[in-house]
Structure 1
């Protein structure tokens, strides 16, 4: 805020607060201290004072300990002293981490946009009744030697909420979110202590040293600011015949898992039972719920096995949270468990150390989706990494799938040529994956680098359970078809017809030259045929025509195409067609829309083809009962068209339309002088 606007606001506040001017003046100073100056200038002192005053009333009201005050309202002049096009959310809460992010997430999750956020931190002194006696910035209180509690005020303007019930629903959602934030913050140290206890228990386990040591190192790595612990709970393993399940231990929850258990017992699928019986001590996956605290991501799920004195698995300690930004930027060689898998891939891939292939494989592993590296098993990682490496030898569309052991989602990495990647293709591939993988929702993360291939990482959440036996080859072929452009199909047909040498030459000349309107109406196979016709034109034979019957044409419908090294104006060509046998055996049918499209073909073809060649079509010729045979008709039409000197650039200035007489094949051409 500029000093002039700030002074104007303070002067306005002092003039309108009366006896409380000193106390509220310091409040308003602290309230807008770090606000966007553009917002301050655009709103004016009267509106700003009214907004701060409304929040002051919420702050000054008594508040129960450890409980937020929340107000969601549409301001009015009579009650609030200002009006707004948006709904206003005002919150007073004890200061703690994650507040603004979590509140904004809750508003966005309701389908609304946050248009303006103000978040001042206040040093607040209260009397025995909870009323405010002094308020200032945290820095001012510290300078004055006061240690009053710091309270967080949050103002959000979001999309307008007209319905009172919807406003109250947002209030309840915000209360739940702030309760989760408080639980995660208050239980932060107890959750860290639980993690240390679990790590100490792992040190006493009698498992294989290489597995045990990596698990212990991974837990220590998580504690070292690489994981935001949001919740923890212990579970007992229950076996009844072939049924294996995890049973939540009451009162073991901390953070967002504190309180009553929502799902007391969970039956484990065979894949998870196999993991429980394996030598792995730590299992990493994604939970089925999104975080309500800090970041709107799916919660990371880390399960550490619990053992009895005999070394048998008796349960797990489950940690929910989010990896920190440093975890995503950490070199893979520094991350326990992950580094073990990466080393295994490098050793089993067969690449020569320090070779180009080895460096490329290491780069692939470094750039591999980090969440996948935490969750994937060594065998699948090796298969995917080597498959990606082979794409450097043969660039093409590829698909790599990994199914979650619980069957809750499928991870899909799709590689497509970078020059073909766009939003439309990304959506089409996502829809294809949703259908094939029983998807309920889908998320994507694209990555475009200097590589000729673009990578899109999809996470497809299943409706009930993710399919196990997906035909990867068929699904990959369907995705490759989606990534195939009209130009690619045309090029493929030219290569098939002419071989690689001549085919590539024709493809480079014509495949990208056809305008969009042409590609919408004609297949790539037809385009390849027309490219052959256009390529055959030369100064000695500068024009060709084709009269043909499309496969999908109705009775008596023909199409006529002109290929020319010079532009043929629509105003010149249509009169000729209109009078070729008018009243005898042929009538032209050209609605206004068709004429416009034809004109577009003529203009665009001339502009985009690499040589001055015109290619026109879409003239629908409707024959009557006196028509000659198709072969004679084609010959007669060709003779008529070739006989008009104007198309051949003869010196004659113009011509009148020709008339073809079918009875004796006479072709009179009338010319003006």
Structure 2
């Protein structure tokens, strides 16, 4: 097969394909430029292999190869994944069999479940018409059937004139090159989610038949509907009508504009208003239906069955009606149909009927400037004039931009007064971070238009769904549609159409309350963070801290913390100035809520559990070094969440630990500061990491007070006691009250800060010794009793100590010296010195 200069062959040379099929290889013809010798993309390779396979048919290999090439040539590579050349050939042959016999105007349709049951296949053959692909995919989407593969070749066909039998597939002929006798048919193959239920299969096929019949009717009657629009424009222009001249001018201009490819005409019908007794009826005039309204309406409708708004509107002496129909389009776009009606009047000026067009505004209608749209341009001019703004001023240009980007469907339906209120309301927002709602009730009482402007960064799918839920609840909605607009502006716009039940219309709507509910539902974490800062600290400090921390706090932190908690963390973060500096926060987290009225709870709030946060400036902490310190305090670590806060001046490392406190721990408010200080001291190496630290939580001791008991434990070990330090630690954790009394006795005897006379000091010490004695009576274990009595003896045998002395930096010294009287310690081995000074460091 030869190709003329400037043309390209169908994909492979038929001769070479036949030679190389057996080897599974397909090469390009030799006479092509060497630049094309590189490997074909996967999709083209696959199709080329299928073409070569078809060419091996000894009967009509060339014809089949050409058909396979045309059938698959526009299939996307990504949709051909996992397909084989044999499957491509089989699919094309199957479609040809479906098209074997077909008369003009007939639809051939087949829905099959493939043997592996992983997907179903829709195959159809029909006359080529506009809107086929979009209408078919729309019908499938309406049933929640996802399209996995779609091919839509236009085939030039020759058939027997009487029987419709397929005589030839002219796969090498483009549709634009057809000659008399040729038919251009649309072959469509759609692979969708599996449809296994036979009843559902029949319903899907019925939906497709109905949709394609609507497409056929609309396409066939489109010239007649367009012609009817133009003739109606002439009729209105020359009739004497009991309506304002602006209505007549708007209607004539609108009809001509619609006919100029700005409207997809889908249906037309004429109606008359009749009186039967006391009842008013609206009846379709037989024979006037076109497109999707071709069939005659058999049953008239009583006006009183309509909503009160629709009843009034039907009898209102206004010529033009522009609104949305109750039904969705099955043709082209799955959207509610645009309804454009023109009333007819008798000689007395009363309404006696209507001429109604149904369809969809075309894409060009949405691109046209509002200053050129019939009906709309008059409203826009009125709003601009009423605003008093110069078109050359900044505000005037902003107002015009608001009108240019206003939802077009709304512009056709809204009144001038409502448009002015909405447009100037948006203008007054001036980019402010706030949410505004503009509501408009449909004049027929079937839906409520809700136009919502909100900060762009607050528009998310989750927030849209939250707004939908509120609108459906507050407006008694039974369905909702939406469109969005997000541009370079600071504001995003969401337009909801909430369908309402005429039998259960919403009560009086409090727009301010509705806006507040929507605002609460769409505020993000950052907004709430700023709000809490403002309420706690005022505008100036809030602005500074928000700028410093909003971006610095990682998203993982925001997911797990309420804004109120973040503000508490800021109090600690702001204290960190030097590398290595530590701050801590021990607290009991409340079960949800923020504690601030009007600030919503965010996901991540937990139950009433204890959390311990460690903040460190500049240097990270190793978990293996932190956990022993926490465990020494007697707590169990249930979880750990690290965060890096990348502040402008440095990085702050925040470690958030979940803690389980030991049984019998003191109230958190009592020991919070003690625990935080004990952790810091142990981390800095000022205190040992051992079981005495648990007394901070159990006995309410400070880390320094725990040092007293630890120092005596070291002395006892040096003196040769049989008890280990762990035994002493466990004894005091079992009797924390005795531990507290022991420390109190030590401080009473030696703390210089206690302003007491010697007699008074001795008296208090005797009282404490007596109290300890009473507590010792309840000790069950003999070993524990001996340990505690040894401690009491040591404290009483202590003569002096350096424990309360401070270093130059006013911090406690790193060592403790204790002067003891060995003669007063019976368990010490002989010989005993007169005095002994023990130093613990």
Question: Where on the TM-score scale, by shorter chain, does this alignment land: which range?
Answer: 0.7 to 0.9
| Alignment counterpart, residue 58 of structure 1, candidates 90, 98, 101 | 98
**Does residue 290 of the first structure (1) align with residue 325 of the second (2)?**
no
Instruction: Please name the residue that 2:490 is paired with.
Output: 452
TM-score (norm 2): 0.69
CA distance in 2, matches of 1:106, 1:629: 65
Farther off after superposition, 612-621 or 503-512: 612-621
For 1:162, which of 196, 217, 227 is the aligned residue?
A: 196
Which of 202-211 and 296-305 deviates more? 202-211
Pair 1:6–1:349, CA change in 2 (3 A): farther
Cα distance in 1, alignment partners of residues 425 and 175 from structure 2: 61
Q: Is the 8 A contact 1:124 1:151 kept in 2?
A: no
Question: Could you tell me how far 1:397 is from its partner in structure 2?
Answer: 1.4
1:434-489 superposed Cα distances (whole Å, 9 cap, x missing partner): 22233333332221211111112222233555525222111111111122223322
Partner SS, residue 479 of structure 2: strand
1:498 counterpart residue number: 537
- Equivalent residue, structure 1, for 2:248: 212
CA gap 1:220/1:242 in 2 versus in 1, 3 angstroms: farther
Aligned to 2:294, the other structure's residue is in SS state coil
Q: Distance in 1 between matches of 2:415 and 2:674?
A: 72
Tell me how many residue pairs correspond in the alignment: 646
1:512–1:473 distance in 2 versus 1, CA, 3 Å: same
8 Å contact from structure 1 (residues 407, 467) kept in 2: no
Residue pairs, 1:106-505, within 5 angstroms: 106-114=139-147, 115-136=149-170, 139=173, 146-203=180-237, 204-206=239-241, 207-238=243-274, 246-261=282-297, 264-265=300-301, 267-278=305-316, 280-392=318-430, 394-463=432-501, 467=506, 469-505=508-544
The aligned counterpart of 1:588 is 635
1:251–1:45 distance in 2 versus 1, CA, 3 Å = same
- In the alignment, the residues of structure 2 paired with residue 520 and residue 511 of structure 1 have an alpha-carbon distance, to the nearest angstrom, of 13
Q: Structure 1 unaligned runs (5+)?
A: 77-82, 581-586
Cα distance, 1:321 vs. partner? 0.6
Query: CA deviation digits over 1:231-283, x for unaligned, max 9?
Result: 11122235789976533333332111111427631533332344345453211
Post-superposition Cα deviations, 1:301-339, rounded to whole Å, max 9, x if no partner, equal: 111111112322112111111111111111111111011
Listed one character per residue, the Cα deviations across residues 13-45 of structure 1 (whole Å, up to 9, x for unaligned) are 454363x66876775566556666887898565
| Shift in Å, 1:549 | 4.6
Q: Is 2:628 aligned against 1:575?
A: yes
Q: Which has the higher contact order (CA 8 A, sep 6+)?
A: 1
1-structure distance, mates of 2:643, 2:182: 74
Pick the structure with greater CA Rg: 2
TM-aligned CA deviation for residue 621 of structure 1: 5.8
Match of 1:80 in 2: none
> Greater shift after overlay, 513-522 or 552-561?
552-561
Looking at structure 2, the residues matched to 417 and 113 of structure 1 have their Cα atoms a distance apart, in angstroms, of 33
- Render the CA deviation track for 1:141-186: whole Å, top value 9, x for unaligned: 9869534343333233333333333333222222212211121122
Tell me, in whole angstroms, the C-alpha distance in 1 between the residues paired with 2:235 and 2:644: 75
1:142 and 1:425, CA in 2 relative to 1: closer, same or farther beyond 3 A? closer
Give CA-to-partner distance per residue, 1:285-307, whole Å, 9 cap, x none: 11122211122222111111111
